[in-house]
Amino acid sequence: MSVKTFSAQVVGLKADIVEVEMDLARGLHSFTIVGLPDKAVEEAKDRISAAIKNSGFESPQSKNQKVIVSLAPADLKKEGPVFDLAIALAYLLASDQLDFEVEKKIFLGELALDGKIRPIKGALSLVKTAKQKGFEELYLPKENVKEAALIRGIKIFGCDTLKEVAEHLDEKINFNLTPSPETEIVVEEKFFNTDFQDIMGQETAKRGLEIAAAGGHNLLMVGPPGTGKTMLAKAFTAILPPLSFEEILETTAIHSVAGILEGDFLTQRPLRTPHHTSSYVAIVGGGNYPKPGEITLSHRGVLLLDEFPEFEKRVIESLRQPLEDGSITVARARGTINFPAKFIMICTMNPCPCGHKGSRTKECVCSQASIQRYQRKISGPILDRIDLYLEVPQVEHEKFLANAPSGDSSQTIKERVARARNIQRERLKKIKSPKGLPILTNSEMSNKELKAFAYLSEPVAKILNQAAKSLDLSGRAYHRTIKLARTIADLGGEENISEQHILEALQYRPK
C-alpha cells in the first residue's frame, strides 16, 4: 500500500515542500530511502524504527516487508533529520496502525530513539512556505512553537512525542493538542556593558557614530592602541532603534536557519564580531548546503570588523557587493543563492602596524614599506564605500579620573537617532529596493531618491563640487557625501541640506 505525507526543507533562507511517499511490499525486510538523501536522512531509518517501537507501535523491522520511502522532488538534495516525523507518520498510515486525512497537514521534526521530537533549524522559513503553499495545520517540535507562531494564518501545533501526534491525528482518539496562540513580541531591555558616557573624550568619534546610527552609514575608526575604538564599536548597538516586526521576522529567519537563534526570536539588533582569522565561507556564507555567513547574520544590525587590515584580503574584497547592494550571492553547484546583507559596517584599525604613526608622544618604529603594505590591504573600492573616517586619538590622561560623565548617555543619543530615523522612514515609506525590501535609511537611497529627497541649493552644490574636485571624489563618494549630509540635516531636524551639513559630511571622507 502506498501513502503520502508532507514535510519541508530549508533551501538558503527559503523552503521547499517535500512529499514523503511510502510504499510497503512483501518480501525480506529492507528499508530504503530514495530522493538524494544525505547521511542524516539515510540514518533516519534506524531512528524512526526505534522511535516507532518505543512509542508503542509495531516497528518496520518487526515484519518481513520492503519499506521504500521516496522524498520528492527527487532532484532536490535532502539534508538533515527534519523529515523524521513525516516518515514515521507515513509508515504508521501505510501499515494501518493510524488513520487520518493527510491533505493540508505538514510535519517537521527530528525523532529521538525514545519517540521524543527534537527541535529543528529554520522553523520560521519553513512555516512561511507552508502557509504560502496553502497548508492549514503544521506540526513541529514544542521548542520551535513560539518562533513558528510569529507567522499568522496557519494552525501551529507544538509536539513533544511521536505518540502524542499520532494520538492527536487518529480520529478514533480525542484530539489532545491545541494550536499555539500567535506569538506576542515582548522586547526585554538589554543591559549594555558600556554606555557612551563611560567613554572619555572621543567627541568626534561619538558624533560620527551617532550619524552612522541615524542614517545607516559605514565607518572606519583609526587610532593608536588602547584609545577606546573597540569600546566605542561595542557600545554602538545600544543607540540603534529597536527592530520593527518585519525586521524581527527577517533577522529571526536568518539566525534560525544558521542554528544560532537564542531564545524564541530576535529582539535586539544583531552585533557580529568575527575574528580576523575567520575563513571566507564563515564571513560570506556558502558550503554544500549554503548557509548564511557573518555578513548575513549581521543583516539589519552591525558587522564589527576589529583590526580590519588583519583580515584576509579575499575576505575584505568580498564585502564590496554586499556594501553596495545589501545582499550577497553565493554560488553553488546548481545556480546561485541570494542572502540579504544590509548591515552597518564598523571597522577599526591602527594607523600602522606598531600603532603609533602620527602620535605626538610615541615614536613609530614601522618602515615605510610595512606601513604601505598595512594600509594597502584596504583597497580604494572599499574605502570608497566607507562614509565616515573617524580618528580616535589618545585621550588626555587627566580625563580618565574625572568623575563627571563624558558627553550624552547612550539613552539620550538613542532618542536623537530614533527621531532622525522617523523622519527618514516617513520620507521613504513609499519606496522599495529593487529586491522588494523597504528602504529605511538615507544610506539605502538610490540616485533617483537622492535627486528627489536630497536637494542641494545652488550655493551648497557649488561648495560640494569644488570640494569634490580638490579631493578627487569618485562618483560613488560624491553621492555618499550627499547622503551623509542628508542624515546630518535629519539629525538636526532640518528640511534642507545646508552648507554646514555638506562641510561636516566632507570632513568625514576617508583621507
Stretch that binds ligand ATP, among 36-44, 148-156, 200-208, 372-380 (CB under 6 A): 200-208
Q: Which does residue 201 bind out of Mg ion, ligand ATP, none, counting CB within 5 to 8 angstroms by kind? A: ligand ATP
Applying CB under 6 A, does 222 fall inside the site for ligand ATP? Answer: no
If you compute the radius of gyration of the chain from its CA atoms, what whole number of angstroms results?
Answer: 28
* Cα torsion through 77, 81, 85, 88, rounded to 10: 80
Asked if 297 and 260 count as a contact pair (C-beta separation under 8 A), the reply is: yes
Closest CA to 108 of 73, 145, 72, 134: 145
Stretch that binds ligand ATP, among 134-142, 193-201, 210-218, 268-276 (CB under 6 A): 193-201
If the CB atoms of residues 230 and 474 are measured against Mg ion, the closer one turns out to be 230
Q: Which does residue 226 bind out of ligand ATP, Mg ion, none, counting CB within 5 to 8 angstroms by kind? A: ligand ATP
If the CB atoms of residues 231 and 266 are measured against ligand ATP, the closer one turns out to be 231
How would you class 343 by CB atoms within 10 Å of its CB: exposed for 0-12, middle for 13-18, buried for 19 or more?
buried
Among 61, 230, 329, 375, binds ligand ATP (CB under 6 A): 230
Stretch that binds ligand ATP, among 16-24, 90-98, 218-226, 468-476 (CB under 6 A): 218-226
Q: Which does residue 318 bind out of ligand ATP, Mg ion, none, counting CB within 5 to 8 angstroms by kind? A: none
**What's the CA gap between 440 and 490, in Å, rounded?**
13
If the CB atoms of residues 197 and 318 are measured against ligand ATP, the closer one turns out to be 197
Applying CB under 5 A, does 194 fall inside the site for Mg ion? Answer: no
Binding to ligand ATP (CB under 6 A): which residues in 395-434? Answer: 395
Applying CB under 6 A, does 71 fall inside the site for ligand ATP? Answer: no
If the CB atoms of residues 230 and 359 are measured against Mg ion, the closer one turns out to be 230
Binding to ligand ATP (CB under 6 A): which residues in 348-367? Answer: 348, 350
Three-state secondary structure string covering 410-425: HHHHHHHHHHHHHHHH
* Cα torsion through 25, 26, 30, 35, rounded to 10: -10
Total binding residues toward ligand ATP, as defined by CB under 6 A: 15
- Please, what is the minimum distance in Å from the beta carbon of residue 366 to ligand ATP? 14
Applying CB under 5 A, does 500 fall inside the site for Mg ion? Answer: no
Applying CB under 6 A, does 267 fall inside the site for ligand ATP? Answer: no
282: Cβ–Cβ under 8 A, 6 or more apart, which residues?
274, 293, 294
Per the DSSP assignment, residues forming a β-bridge with 116 are: 161
- Please, what is the minimum distance in Å from the beta carbon of residue 308 to ligand ATP? 11
What number of residues does the chain have?
Answer: 511
Among 59, 65, 97, 230, binds Mg ion (CB under 5 A): 230
**What's the CA gap between 385 and 402, in Å, rounded?**
37
Stretch that binds ligand ATP, among 43-51, 224-232, 264-272, 311-319 (CB under 6 A): 224-232
Q: What is the DSSP string of 302-358?
A: EEEETTGGGS-HHHHHHTHHHHHHSEEEEE-SSSEEEEE---EEEEEE-SSSSS-TT
Residue ranges binding ligand ATP (CB under 6 A):
199-202, 223, 225-231, 348, 350, 395
Residue ranges binding Mg ion (CB under 5 A):
229-230
